Structure 1
Amino acid sequence: MILLSPFFHLMPQKDKKKKTVQQSPKKLVKKKSSLKKMSGLAFSIKKVEDGIAVTRGSVPAGLGKLVYFLDPYQVPTRTFPGIVMASDKKSTIIFALAQNYLLTTDLLVTILRSFNGSLKTDFVIDVQISRLLGQSLDIFGNGNFIKKNSLKKLLPKPQNGIAKRVSVWRPLITGIKVIDCLFPIGLGQRQLIIGDRYTGKTTIAVDTILSQRKTKMKCIFVSIAQKQSAVNKLISTFKKEQAFHYTTLISANASDPVALQFLAPYTGCSLAEIFSTLGGDSLIVYDDLSKHSVAYRQMALLLRKSPGRDAFPSDIFYLHSTLLERAGQYFSGSLTALPVIETLGRDVSAFIPTNIISITDGQIFLDSGYFNRGILPAVNVSLSVSRVGSKSQYPCLGYMSKWIKMKITEFRGLESLLSFADDVDNLTALKLKFGLRLSEFLCQMKSEVCSCYDQLLLFALVFKGALKFVAANKVSMFIDFFVSWSNEFLLRHEISLKQYYVSFSNTWYFNFGDKKFMERKGFVNFYCYILNLFIKGLPK
């Protein structure tokens, strides 16, 4: 498995033996079979501070390369890897990929050697593809208990060029009505989910994964600096909704070292790239990149790097761009990225949010005001946008989305003016009543995903004015009853859902009374039947 290097802009030097000034390297003694491959150069540690080790002498490994800390008495629990962050002729600065209390000055720093004698400093993760899905792993692949016939590849891996990419043309069905209709996402797109704390950002990402049950999509969820209890809830949710068999969870908890939190999204992206290169579609969720930025800022400050805006290092934009630009639609498959960013006080003009917005192809902004009022998902229609998703949206749904977006935007504007006026005219009152029903129609609770053909039928009813016959507090009951009834109707008349889904989605217009059109498509007059039953029969 290829693990991309976060230090690709600092190209590592070739691994050659270098003579040190202060101390000559010592040969390791082979005492146990588990350490036979570790025979090579060993360097003592001069200084330890906050998970950082400074060696005596220059370790022959480039920036971003992997080294190992060994106990001279060969205690297995005190053998762990580290990553080179800086090096000069006299010393090397190494970040330990373990807890800080394990790092002491009595350890030795060494490099693995291969059988032909060359130094092994590349970051390698060892997993088996057949046992990759349905597990919770760390950045090293631990948790994948079967290692036979595993896939091993090295880093760094260059990004796919423009010649290997194609434009986004296939839709990603999230199962959320307001997103699939107003802000569609295409396979290979980078769509940002942004909002304040506790506004439902993770819920949208989880529901998107849950809606991929009947597809061949492989999902990777990267949890960065989250609580262990939150990670356990995610695992239980995936297992309860029968979505864990096509999902892999990569976690670097809040109690883990910052170096592990920093490397977690790169591990997840490497796993997702496997499925895209094998000819499949993969979806990766980064939850969230704001905590990833804080982890890298902490690492940079410990390394005495010069701080920039908000104390972030100057290369933070490059790190995120190299990570997110790996998503795309390729000839072999696709990689869709859903990064999550947490804002403070609805401030989308902060440093990290503006960086990610400029990298991605659109954003879904979740408003805390809507969330507190019970409007779920709390999507702000005015601040959300999808730049390339409309090209992959079904034509009929795109035709209706323009009208629905205009109506819901008009309702939000009139709703904000109600506090300044006591009386409104009749036309404004009708717009407010319809907007209230439309807002209730777009509301959707957690884990209640809606299939694509159900969304097409529901939006067709709204487009033809069926909501004006339904009370605002009965909209959710109307949706549930209609979805169950329509599925039974299709099965009763032996209409293929797949055929109905494809033909209906590729239609540019709707004509509920045109019987010739329906006969030409090979269906019964389904639309007129729906109107007669639901619109005329519903109480006004």
Structure 2
Amino acid sequence: MPRDTPDWLKAARDTVQASTPGPRVERRGRVEEIGDGVAMISGLSDVRLDEVLRFQGGQVGFARVLDPDRIGCVMLDGATAVEAGDAVYGTGEVVNVPVGEALLGRIVDPLGRPMDGKGAIEAEDHLPIERPAPSIIERDLVTEPVQTGVVVVDTLFALGRGQRELIVGDHSTGKTTLAIDALIAQRDSDMICIYVAVGQKTSSVRRAIDALQAEGNFARCIVLVAEAASAPGLQWIAPYAGMTMAEYFRDKGQHALVVIDDLSKHAATHREIALLTRQSPGREAYPGDVFYIHARLLERAAKLSPARGGGSLTALPIAETDAGNLSAYIPTNLISITDGQIVLDAALFHQGQKPAVDVGLSVSRVGGKTQAKVLRSAAGTLRLDYAQFLELEVFTRFGGMPDGRVRQQLTRGARIREVLRQQQHAPLHLAEEVALLLAVQSGLLDALPLKAVATFRTGLATVLNAEAGEAMRALGDGAEMSEATRDALLDVMRRFADSLPEAAA
């Protein structure tokens, strides 16, 4: 080679000499038509379901429908830049998302791409969004509690690690607020929190993120966002991507809590994609597999056996109803899949009872097995007393003077209802909940005016931590309440109640 040979020519010759010539198989198809985020493709007969397809302009999508002559591809980005006749290439891979500790404290899209401007994410691994649920032999009993910090939930509808509890109600009844409060309450626990926003408005997502950053431990949270303006494909994969990110921690023996907000919009996106890909519509125009897509998603929430590390994945999916109709198609599907539901009532919400939980329709099918023993002993017959109060209150509206026993039940029930009210984004610690229930169940609040009960509840934690700190720490550790602890708490609370200005009036 001449001495004056340019460096670029030397590099080119070295590359050619190092290469091994031979045939290369390239799977290539073409776009037949595209519209509304769905491309119909021909020429890729060997593509498998959910395989990632790459377009000549760099855009990506995944195969959702496999017909004999055409492939229905759901676009994940850049649908407006794809035209009929463009080349499409099969990748042989399914949709994967990054997982690992690097995602904590970050806001990402369903493909794991950062949306918070904090730079690239160095993922520990990439896992497919579709993964099989743990088998029966790999699961363990749900016995450990998930403290949500919401009195009405922890007291009446206890949640367990590995449970799937549906939050369902009409539009703007506090569903997202209740779920965000449950995430905020994990700021002092060992649970990883993942919030998945599916088809939500940008302002709603921003409020949720602000609440987590201001009140929770955001460094142990992952926020996955597929807004209403996002491509339908991104909205469709979002819940599955969130589950995969949570399963990474579950499989390491850790504990994760996933909120999916909400599956009604996810079902609507699934219907949209199904109709655009010409699948046969069924009830309410949903395709026949709409039950299956949510069943296989929520079955991934589980408490693993000690042999599998003992980790857990708890799911709080959200569904929206119209005019309180729980018998609609999607709500009934989700109720049959999950281990219970927390029903929010619009009438209670507008009456100022927040959280607006309907205690008659709500249920946890795991129940008291997961409730902290000290909380169960403090609650006693609270649920029965409150249910009787609600019935008596309806009858007394017709007039008449109730007898002494009924008046006592009405008085106690009104205090219970006041205690169950709670400000948003202010979850209580376990010890505070126990003390509050002890006060109402012992009759300590019966003599207080209703307005004074709110004042009592607001200042209770400060007073107890100052005057009964040792007892509060013991209760916070989950220790059973001894008679001495009970008497000490009642003495402090009685003196606090007597000192309130409203009580003196």
User: TM-score w.r.t. structure 2 length?
Assistant: 0.88
For 2:228, the equivalent position in structure 1 comes to 254
For 2:93, the equivalent position in structure 1 comes to 121
After TM superposition, give the deviation of residue 149 of structure 1 in Å: 5.8
CA RMSD in angstroms comes to 2.2
1:499–1:426 CA distance, 2 compared to 1 (3 A) = closer
1:58–1:87 Cα contact (<8 Å) kept: no
1:171–1:389 Cα contact (<8 Å) kept: no
After TM superposition, give the deviation of residue 108 of structure 1 in Å: 1.4
1:217–1:39 CA distance, 2 compared to 1 (3 A) = farther
Q: Once the two structures are superposed, what CA deviation does each residue of 1:169-208 show, in whole Å capped at 9, x if it has no partner?
A: 1110000111100111011111111111111000000000
For 2:248, the equivalent position in structure 1 comes to 274
After TM superposition, give the deviation of residue 328 of structure 1 in Å: 1.3
For 1:230, the equivalent position in structure 2 comes to 204
For 2:102, the equivalent position in structure 1 comes to 131
1:84–1:95 Cα contact (<8 Å) kept: yes
2: CA distance between counterparts of 1:486 and 1:284?
33
2: CA distance between counterparts of 1:207 and 1:483?
18
Q: Once the two structures are superposed, what CA deviation does each residue of 1:475-523 show, in whole Å capped at 9, x if it has no partner?
A: 11111222211101234xxx3754343464x34xx64xxxxxx3xxxx6
Q: Are 1:452 and 2:427 counterparts? A: no
1:170–1:186 Cα contact (<8 Å) kept: yes
For structure 2, the 5+ residue unaligned runs are 1-23
After TM superposition, give the deviation of residue 60 of structure 1 in Å: 2.6
Q: Are 1:98 and 2:77 counterparts? A: yes
1: CA distance between counterparts of 2:182 and 2:138?
27
- SS in structure 1 of the partner of residue 149 of structure 2: coil
- SS in structure 1 of the partner of residue 244 of structure 2: helix
For 1:15, the equivalent position in structure 2 comes to none
After TM superposition, give the deviation of residue 389 of structure 1 in Å: 3.3
- SS in structure 1 of the partner of residue 224 of structure 2: strand
- SS in structure 1 of the partner of residue 446 of structure 2: helix
Query: What are the equivalent positions in structure 2 for 1:3-22 lying under 5 Å apart?
Result: none
Residues 458-467 or 273-282, more deviating = 458-467
Q: Are 1:67 and 2:53 counterparts? A: yes
2: CA distance between counterparts of 1:424 and 1:528?
30
After TM superposition, give the deviation of residue 150 of structure 1 in Å: 3.2
Q: Which amino acid aligns with 2:153?
A: I
Matched length: 472
2:103–2:121 Cα contact (<8 Å) kept: no
1: CA distance between counterparts of 2:367 and 2:153?
10
For 2:382, the equivalent position in structure 1 comes to 404
1:149–1:270 CA distance, 2 compared to 1 (3 A) = closer
- SS in structure 1 of the partner of residue 437 of structure 2: helix
For structure 1, the 5+ residue unaligned runs are 1-37, 72-78, 113-119, 512-517
1:62–1:146 CA distance, 2 compared to 1 (3 A) = same
Q: Once the two structures are superposed, what CA deviation does each residue of 1:261-284 show, in whole Å capped at 9, x if it has no partner?
A: 111100000001011111110000
Q: Are 1:385 and 2:371 counterparts? A: no
Q: Give the counterpart of 1:288 among 257, 262, 270.
A: 262
Q: Once the two structures are superposed, what CA deviation does each residue of 1:375-432 show, in whole Å capped at 9, x if it has no partner?
A: 0111111101111031011223224435111121112112222433354444333322
- SS in structure 2 of the partner of residue 249 of structure 1: strand
2: CA distance between counterparts of 1:168 and 1:242?
25
Q: Are 1:81 and 2:55 counterparts? A: no
After TM superposition, give the deviation of residue 306 of structure 1 in Å: 1.6
1: CA distance between counterparts of 2:76 and 2:360?
43
1: CA distance between counterparts of 2:494 and 2:303?
43
2:171–2:321 Cα contact (<8 Å) kept: yes
1: CA distance between counterparts of 2:371 and 2:429?
14
For 1:4, the equivalent position in structure 2 comes to none
Residues 142-151 or 271-280, more deviating = 142-151
Q: Which amino acid aligns with 1:288?
A: D
After TM superposition, give the deviation of residue 344 of structure 1 in Å: 0.5
Query: What are the equivalent positions in structure 2 for 1:56-205 lying under 5 Å apart?
Result: 56-71=42-57, 79-112=58-91, 120-127=92-99, 129-143=100-114, 145-148=119-122, 150-154=124-128, 156-205=130-179
2: CA distance between counterparts of 1:367 and 1:227?
22
Q: Are 1:441 and 2:445 counterparts? A: no
1:462–1:199 CA distance, 2 compared to 1 (3 A) = same
For 2:342, the equivalent position in structure 1 comes to 364
2: CA distance between counterparts of 1:102 and 1:191?
41
Q: Which amino acid aligns with 1:432?
A: L
Q: Give the counterpart of 1:306 among 263, 280, 284.
A: 280
1:155–1:403 CA distance, 2 compared to 1 (3 A) = closer
2: CA distance between counterparts of 1:155 and 1:376?
36
- SS in structure 1 of the partner of residue 313 of structure 2: strand
Q: Once the two structures are superposed, what CA deviation does each residue of 1:213-263 show, in whole Å capped at 9, x if it has no partner?
A: 111210110101011121112222212214321111111111112221111
Q: Which amino acid aligns with 2:40?
A: V
Q: Once the two structures are superposed, what CA deviation does each residue of 1:334-356 show, in whole Å capped at 9, x if it has no partner?
A: 00000101001111111111111
1:375–1:95 CA distance, 2 compared to 1 (3 A) = same
2: CA distance between counterparts of 1:479 and 1:167?
35
2:239–2:260 Cα contact (<8 Å) kept: yes
After TM superposition, give the deviation of residue 164 of structure 1 in Å: 1.3
- SS in structure 1 of the partner of residue 250 of structure 2: helix
Residues 419-428 or 523-532, more deviating = 523-532
2: CA distance between counterparts of 1:85 and 1:146?
29
2:379–2:438 Cα contact (<8 Å) kept: no
Q: Give the counterpart of 1:530 among 488, 492, 500.
A: 492
2:129–2:237 Cα contact (<8 Å) kept: no
Residues 300-309 or 43-52, more deviating = 43-52
After TM superposition, give the deviation of residue 59 of structure 1 in Å: 4.3
2: CA distance between counterparts of 1:219 and 1:408?
32
After TM superposition, give the deviation of residue 41 of structure 1 in Å: 2.7
After TM superposition, give the deviation of residue 534 of structure 1 in Å: 4.4
- SS in structure 2 of the partner of residue 152 of structure 1: strand
2: CA distance between counterparts of 1:201 and 1:160?
28
2:393–2:410 Cα contact (<8 Å) kept: yes
1:458–1:320 CA distance, 2 compared to 1 (3 A) = same
After TM superposition, give the deviation of residue 89 of structure 1 in Å: 4.5
Q: Once the two structures are superposed, what CA deviation does each residue of 1:19-59 show, in whole Å capped at 9, x if it has no partner?
A: xxxxxxxxxxxxxxxxxxx9933222222233222223234
2: CA distance between counterparts of 1:529 and 1:430?
23
1: CA distance between counterparts of 2:243 and 2:122?
23
1:85–1:130 CA distance, 2 compared to 1 (3 A) = closer
Q: Are 1:467 and 2:448 counterparts? A: no
1:99–1:256 Cα contact (<8 Å) kept: no
For 2:3, the equivalent position in structure 1 comes to none
Query: What are the equivalent positions in structure 2 for 1:202-213 lying under 5 Å apart?
Result: 202-213=176-187
